Structure 1
Amino acid sequence: MKLMYRIAMRLALVLLPLIAVWAGLFYFKTLDEVNDETDDALDEFAEKVIARMLSGQELPSNVGANILYDIIPIGVQFAQDHPSIRYYFNDEYFPSIGREPARVLTTVFRTDSDNYYLLKAYTPTIDKQELMQGTLVWIVILYFSLLLTVMLVTILVFYRNMRPLYRLLDWLDRYRVGGKNPPLDNNTDITEFQKLNEATEKALGRYDEAYEAQKEFIGNASHELQTPLAVMGNRVEWLLDNTDLDEKQIGELLGIQRTLGGVVRLNKTLLLLTKIDNGQFPESTDVYIPALVQESVEVFSEIYEDKGIEVDFPHPDNLVVRMNESLARTLTGNLLKNAFIYTPAHGKIRITVRGRSLEIANTGDKPLDADHIFDRFYKSGGREGSLGLGLAIVGAVQRYYGLEVKYRFEEKKHVFSVKWG
């Protein structure tokens, strides 16, 4: 996940509880302020009505008034049992609008003639349900508006201040170890990015030095090992051709010759794996995969002619990929060689090139270990003379180019598939 998306998610998660808390406080504070104002108006109106009644003046009319009232005679006991003043909410009837939520004030007072009365004054007020629904709607609108605004501002500020990081990442994407790379042009006055630039250049410098040293070592090791191995092989051949040996001695020398041949092949294969892992195949060209497959099929069909293997290679799609031709030939060759080696006598190999994928299926008895078949020195069935590196090379090429290489076993067939992106 990109850093910007993660920041946006965290902003959304932080804003949500903050807005929710603010909405709750706003709702109760608004309700409290409305109640205070309404109670003050009811108090003033009640004092006016009581003062007029006690002084014998004409009482206010309920017709068209915003605050309505009722004066109810009560007994002494009722007056003593009820508080002198009380506020509460109740649904009351208003001639002009019908029954509506109202804020109600009740107060008990006594006249000069010792008569007790209950004054009930009430006025329309805010419907709590409607207030809550309205508040919720506007809070949701406010949340998304605020979130959008904050995210836009954050994105602008983020990308403007993170430009040095993106320039560095772009330079790293184009950087090739051991290749000719342009110098890092990432001027910035931000201390942290300056340190990051310096650390990156130093690390890649050490990496380049190690790469060159390793490449030199590989070349020297290849030369130093191949020469004595070739000399030893030639001497064994000379002994076989120019000396009088008995049958036992000839057998021993032939065994030595086979062992030397295995060591030579092992040396070459390990060197190839190391070169692939070190990225020493930078050259790429357009490679026509069906042509490489056909070439390998012809070679291996001749080598394993005695097994009587049937090869089915129908008309392929026009699959052209961009990669190193040598590695492409190694990839297809090792997969096909593996199929020819492990297909039983008179078995069948089917090769399919469709779209951007190559699939090779060959007859088999039991499945291979899918978790380890691409590991170095993995051997199936302990076949004599096998190095267990053929599919390891396929795995190395897969990692080098980011290919999708899969194995499955179905209908008594080993199926290897390679997919180019």
Structure 2
Amino acid sequence: MSAHELEEFPFAGSSYHGPAPVYAKMRAECPVAKVPTAGGVDAWVVSRYEDVRAALADPRLSRALTCVDGAPRIGGSMTTTPEMIISLDGSEHSRLRKLVAGAFTVRRVEAMRPNVQRVCDELLDAIQEKGPVVDLVEAFCVPLPLTVIGEMLGVPSEDLRAFEKDARAFATVDDRAGGEESLAALGRLNDYIVGLIADKRANPGNDMLSDLIAARDNDDRLSERELVTFGFTLIGAGFDTTANQLANSLLALFEHHREDWDRLVAQPELIPTAVEELLRHVNLFATDTTGFPRIAAEDLEIGGVRIPAGDPVIFSLTSANRDGDVFADPDELDITREHNPHISFGHGMHYCLGKQLGRMEMALALEGLTRRFPDLRLAKPENELPWHHGEINHTLSTLPVIWG
């Protein structure tokens, strides 16, 4: 296979089972290839683990340049606004990351465990009461991370339901199916977060938003716009990705890896390694990318291929996570896999700040479900399950399950 034989990006065939099949050929024959995209421009697609990991840490590949006027638009790729932390480079990114990183230390996240466990248990209690047939997306996968994010931001309990509704509408927006409802939800969320910041500034609480308002680095602190933008970033990254990864992972265990579900029921001590393997193996992203497009700020090389300045570059983290040079039997789900340096949370300066929280939520969710509902299973055939194939995620609209 040569680069000119590749189809238009995003490639066809991606699903929650894994990345598009073409990536296996790309890794073997043209791991760094220039391809046409749905946005009408050509972009470099990087598919091999070693190249993806190195490029993610290369400061010459700019996120900020993707947000300037006239930047190439790659159809089917993730887009952000210039103010978001994921859109910043160099000293601007370092400044913002330093101010917010204290909220995501291992110690701080571990201190949240009892609260996350409480939320998880309350949702499982409600499922037990409502059952034996429940939509797991509606009853568990969505409210678990969203309630945790709401409480992290200090959203009052009486506001959580409206907050959750608007956050869900905002997080599933895409270029093709945004609609007036999502835009209205975006406006309501913006107004709510602005008001919440004002309230926390006047009446600080024991929550992340209060901490971020107070965070200082010498005379530097987060601006009002940065606080609002970070609130949206936390909703999009901390809620939507976790909810969808959990739902997709549960579907994979129920329908295609039932023996692994039964093993986790019998051996809950395997759950931490199972979480890492599910993060590696189960595809969440509709375009098989989680590294966000970048633009070469100067001429450089990736995997021995020259990338001219100004060219857009796409990283396929899901392809990298199936690289046989790094992972034994890469297309197999192995919940006992010990060597698992997956890069599902990214790498380099833009690695996911909330990765420890996401891991914790996944682990507590699996532990609770396997303990409380060991015979949990799908209530309808997999081919009848509705999906929302958005610009970013493969999202299960519902996941009906039954037990007993």
Give TM-score scaled by structure 1 length: 0.21
Give TM-score scaled by structure 2 length: 0.22
When Rg is computed on C-alpha atoms for both structures, the one with the higher figure is 1
Q: Relative to total residues, which structure has the larger strand share, 1 or 2?
A: 1
Structure possessing the higher relative contact order (Cα contacts under 8 Å, 6 or more residues apart): 2
